[in-house]
Structure 1
Amino acid sequence: MGDDLPSLLLLPPPPHPATRLALNAAYEPPLKAAISKLKTARSGKNGATLLVGLVSPILTGNYVRQKSLSWPHVQSLLADLYSIISVICVQLSVPTDIHAGPGSVDVRVVLVDHDLSKPLTIDSRPAIEPNNTVIINLPTFVSAYHPWRYIFHANNESGYELLSTYLKLVEGIQPLKQSQIVVVDGGLAVSVGPPVSPRLSPQTNTQPIVCLGGTFDHLHPGHKLLLTAAVLLLKVPEKGAPRPCQFIIGITGDELLKRKKYAEYVQPWDERAMNTIEFLSSILELSKSGWKKSQTIQTIKDNGEFVALFRDGTIEVRCVVIQDAYGPTITTENMDILVVSGETRSGGNAVNERRKELGWRQLETFEVDVLDADGNVHKSSEARDFTQKISSTAIRKQKAESRI
């Protein structure tokens, strides 16, 4: 069994209403148990990787190519999950950034669309069946995500129900030893009233070209939230379409970071771009070969940009060097959505003002919640001081102090 294989934590649907208190009660115990085990388990030089598969009815729509989601609801759920993960890792002194070395646990959340109340049918057998969003169903997840080092599941009724469904689908894909299936504390899931159907929430119009910007230095939970929430806004075309949808990521150039605190620990642009693409592959890559395929991501370096294609060429991720506050948003007219956080909201406004001056249409703006160092989630509507947010600077400081 390979020590460098990722592990899976299967999380059943969230309690309802999905308040932070309820999510903490339901998800903090299993997350803490899985992270604790991986912290002490033998792992490769880059540390352990844990994929958290949150299995819940997320998408609406009766047809494969006509799925939709409520983006505000989903990104809020993601923010709370990454916040809980951040708090646990602080408590356990576990680094969470990518490739942080022995003792670290790189936790990544993958959303899986499935309704446990509906029985499996012949149509549910494992097969890769992408839709017009980046969120996949459970049979597709089982088909493309394997093999695992450990599979953790919650010790409660919904946790065992989810494990049973998963094991029925995984037969013939990965032979599992009993020691690889680990039961962990299921937490307390208290739901008040019937769950609210996703179809009752306002659905979000996805678009072919989404962009955002950042430093993405020492990729941490705040970055993971931002990238995951943003990529959910992509409208994915069918295989064979004339052009892919595009996720354009402006990554701050090395020159602009030379005056940052602890600048000697800033990762080079190429490394930051490749870590960003590697993280996104956890959400976007679908292959029956599982990790064998995703470990060899085909990335082209073109004119100082990194370009990677996923899902049979239907999704293009483009990492672009940015040397100013605008990046590609004022050099490329054809864009649809700009994703910002509360911290970068003013920059988003400036982008649209500049595009207006150029006679270009303004970008639709979506704002992602901000995580702080204490594990609090600050909603997009809040105005606040961002000095306590989870930051690359704090990670660089920690690395500097550990070498003194």
Structure 2
Amino acid sequence: MADLPSLLLLPPPPHPPSRLALNATYEPPLKAALSRLKSEKGGKDGAVLIVAVASPILKGQFLRHKSLSWPHAQSILADLYSIISVICAELSIPTDLHAGPGSVDARVVFIDHDLSKPVAADLKPAIKPNNTVIVDLATFTAAYHPWKYIFHTNNEPGYQLLSTYLKLLEGIQTLKQSQLVVVDGGLAVSLGPQSPSELPSQTSPHSVVCLGGTFDHLHPGHKLLLTAAVLLLKVPDKDTSDPCKFVIGITGDELLKRKKYAEFVQPWDERATNTIEFLASILELSKDGWKGGQSLQVSRENDELVALFRNDTIEVRCVVIQDAYGPTITTENMDALVVSGETRSGGNAVNEKRKELGWRQLETFEVDVLDAEGIVHKSADTQSFATKISSTAIRKLKAESHT
């Protein structure tokens, strides 16, 4: 990241987190931040915006025994990436990685933080990871910095969150007033406290999670899939010799030669490197933040790219896939497979094949697809936003700009 990334601090989602309620709460601040960054053009790669949602998303009293409801978390992620995609379609903002001046690469992360609980006056930002990939506000502050801008919402929860965050940021980054940008807070919709029956059930995490795709011109659909998948990881203690593993099958170049606008398909190495770079914004925790660029531990093993994060407790392995199954039928030791509505049938085929091999079937988790349903201010542009942000659409635009 040549240009510093910016931060948009978002208070907790409304309750219940329906698409309409999320849109009313989050569309105004997202639109303001995305518009501002687009107008500044950014560096040669465009702008990066970390959209941080602060919410008590983890359960568990002890630091190393946290859990979350995956269906609840992935649903909010899907809604946020859908809202971002609709805004970017309306404003003609490219959203893929390294898309050039005027583009905004928005990345959503969760921060485990409860606004209703007072923060200890002597709390110091320090990196204290738990057994999930989601961290608390003090750890986020210690590892994510410095920022170009910090956008915050113009409402009570927004100022409360900003106040706590700025106290933690003291001594880490000195900000000019112009770097703090207030944005419309939207409508805070909440229908009273949750009853116990409404509380989402917790999801068992897994040591080996698998996912497949092309990951060409990494866009919001890819970002959603990758982020939702890493939320399933069971992160071990730093003293372990056996990290949790995220295995990503990335379609080989040979299989993509018949794609539309195939000459603009990124080579496998670029797609794998971009995937790892994106995941670093969720997984990497360094007290130096991104000063001087993130020094990722990436190595090549045969035809695979391997990256290690968080004191070698998380291993990301990008594997070339030449068929519909990839590593799921060559590696027995896997626990979970993440699919989207579009790849559900592939997940079923994988489990059928594993059954034939006498291997245990993978637990399958389905991520919601991006859609504009329930999003207000819909126009003809937003109806087709999903096609606008697809890898094919991005390649088509590149082909047209070269003619």
TM category, shorter: over 0.9
Query: How many aligned positions are there?
Result: 394
1:196–1:158 distance in 2 versus 1, CA, 3 Å: farther
User: Cα deviations across residues 205-239 of structure 1 (Å, max 9, x unaligned)?
Assistant: 00100001000000000000000000000000000
The Cα of 1:395 is off from its aligned counterpart by 1.0
Aligned equivalents of 1:376, 1:291: Cα separation in 2? 37
Match status 1:48 vs 2:44 = no
Q: What letter matches 2:206 in structure 1?
A: Q
Could you say which residue in structure 1 is the equivalent of 2:229?
230
Give the corresponding residue for 1:108.
107
TM-score normalized by the length of structure 2: 0.94
Q: Deviations over 1:83-120 (max 9, x none)?
A: 00000001110000000000000000010000011111
Structure 1 residue identity aligned to 2:266: Q
Q: Post-superposition shift, 1:273? A: 0.1
Mapping 1:5-404, distance limit 5 Å: 5-121=4-120, 124-195=123-194, 200-292=199-291, 295-372=294-371, 374=372, 390-404=389-403
Q: Is the 8 A contact 1:60 1:198 kept in 2?
A: no
**Aligned CA-pair RMSD:** 1.9
Within 2, Cα distance between the matches of 1:3 and 1:327? 34
Q: Distance in 1 between matches of 2:315 and 2:198?
A: 29
Shift of 1:397: 1.1
In structure 2, give the amino acid aligned to 1:336: D
Once the two structures are TM-superposed, the CA of residue 357 in structure 1 deviates from its matched residue by 0.7
Change (3 A) 1:197 1:163: farther
1:41 Cα offset (Å)? 1.3
Alpha carbons of 1:152 and 1:397: their partners in 2 closer, same or farther (altered >3 Å)? same
Question: Is the 1:125–1:169 Cα contact (8 Å) retained in structure 2?
Answer: yes
Tell which deviates more after alignment, 353-362 or 123-132.
123-132
Q: Write the distance in 2 (CA, Å) between the matches of 1:364 and 1:42.
A: 43
State the partner residue of 1:382. Answer: none
Aligned twin of 2:379: none
The answer to whether the 8 A contact 1:69-1:198 is kept is no
Measure, in 2, the Cα distance between the counterparts of 1:389 and 1:376: 19
120 and 310 in structure 1: CA distance in 2 versus 1, 3 angstrom threshold: same
SS in structure 1 of the partner of residue 397 of structure 2 = helix
SS at match of 1:246: strand
In structure 1, what residue type is equivalent to 2:338? V
Report % sequence identity.
76
Contact 1:60-1:199 at 8 Å conserved across structures: no
Task: Quote how far apart the aligned CAs of 1:334 are.
Answer: 0.3
TM-score by length of 1: 0.94
Aligned to 1:14, the other structure's residue is in SS state coil
Deviates more, 1:120-129 or 1:41-50: 120-129
Q: Distance in 1 between matches of 2:104 and 2:240?
A: 38
Unaligned runs of 5+ in 2: 376-385
Q: Secondary structure at the match of 1:30?
A: helix
Quick check: 1:57–1:113 contact (8 Å CA) kept in 2?
A: yes
2:110 is matched by which residue type in structure 1? L
Counterpart AA for 2:393: A
Question: What SS does the corresponding residue of 1:292 show, helix, strand or coil?
Answer: coil
1:292 Cα shift? 2.8
Distance 1:389 1:370, change over 3 A: farther
Q: Which amino acid aligns with 1:218?
A: H
Letter matched to residue 115 of structure 1? D
Contact 2:31 2:87 in 1 (8 A): yes
Tell me the CA shift for residue 400 of structure 1. 1.3
Cα distance in 1 between the residues matched to 2:196 and 2:76: 15
Structure 1: 5+ residue stretches without partners: 378-386
Mapped contact 2:8–2:50 kept (Cα < 8 A): yes
CA contact (8 A) 1:133 1:232 kept: yes
Following TM superposition, by how much is the alpha carbon of 1:403 offset from its aligned partner in structure 2, in angstroms?
Answer: 2.4
